Structure 1
């Protein structure tokens, strides 16, 4: 937050394989807001690896075969619908010491 109570948030998306980052991209900055909405699409050519999405140390979303809950559900839906995109909302999970 800045002095007037707003922020200029953006999202960094990292394609991870284990602890190794394979690729990263960043959304556009949403100026002067604490409740940003992003309608951007990122496509990665991936093998069965795990995707972890970090939201600038606010939280994360994990997709992949080792994910749980909606992250695993989304992963399975993406594999079943390939090559069509699969859209799903995810709630941010807390960052851990390793994140």
Structure 2
């Protein structure tokens, strides 16, 4: 069990290790601190192996950049707020 969030440097090391693993036919570890978007991009690479394309690697790097800059979390929060608003609107219209 993790007692603290990983630092950005730890996240970068974890991402590079996971990227190396999936591009060479390995799997993913759990508890890396990588977010859902980054994990999903890495899983896409693992599924594509051995036909890993530059576009898949670029997508994984972009997803990880979104984790570091907070845009992945912002998008998740916006989606959650939209779902709640839709739910509340349906409840009011019943």
So what's the TM-score if we normalise by structure 1? 0.30
So what's the TM-score if we normalise by structure 2? 0.31
Structure with greater proportional helix content: 2
Structure with greater proportional strand content: 1
